[in-house]
Amino acid sequence: MTYWQRYKMKFLADMCISVQTVIWLRSLGYDAIHLYEEDLQTLPDCDVMHKAKQEKRVLLTMDLDFARLVAASSISELPTIVIFRLKNQRPAYIQSRLSVAFTILKNLSSNESAILSVSDKNIRIRKLPLK
């Protein structure tokens, strides 16, 4: 991954993602924030999604409600969302699976959005908006 690609990708971690994962992303040189750090723990999901879109951040979550919000949305510009569906939810394991997802994320153009469903065995990608 080039310097340009690394610094272009920004992340927003939902409350179900550990702050340790945000710290790990920063140690790799990424721009990453956690809702907790901005005192936004109680922000509704639709507002979290809007924040990610406005700030051009990849949303990291384990909350399946985000997929439902996207499916029901009539908004044409949506953020990229990484939904972790893992049995092991420890930060180190999430980070290892996110490392695999980097390959997919870096191949999205700046005007493309997608939902990545990250499981223990694979990563499924669906381009947005859903059709």
- At residue 127, does pLDDT exceed 50? yes
User: pLDDT averaged over the chain?
Assistant: 88
Distance CA 59, CA 81 (A): 5
If one compares 34 and 5, the residue with the highest pLDDT of the two is: 34
Helix (H, G, I), strand (E, B) or coil at 72: helix
**In what order do the strands lie in the sheet containing 113-119?**
31-34, 10-13, 58-61, 81-85, 113-119, 123-128
User: Residues 61-76: pLDDT tens digits?
Assistant: 999 998 888 877 766 6
In the prediction, which pLDDT does 4 show?
45
- At residue 22, does pLDDT exceed 70? yes
Name the residue type at position 37: E
The pTM score is 0.90
Pair of tokens at residue 8: 């272009």
In the prediction, which pLDDT does 75 show?
66
Question: Among residues 82, 73, 85, 65, which one has the least CA distance to residue 131?
Answer: 73
User: Residues 78-116: pLDDT tens digits?
Assistant: 889 999 999 999 999 999 999 999 988 888 877 788 899
Distance CA 121, CA 131 (A): 26
Mean predicted confidence (pLDDT) in 116-125: 95
- At residue 32, does pLDDT exceed 60? yes
- Domains by residue range for the chain, with CATH: 3-128 (3.40.50)
Please say whether the beta carbons of 94 and 79 come within 8 A. no
Distance CA 37, CA 21 (A): 13
- At residue 6, does pLDDT exceed 80? no
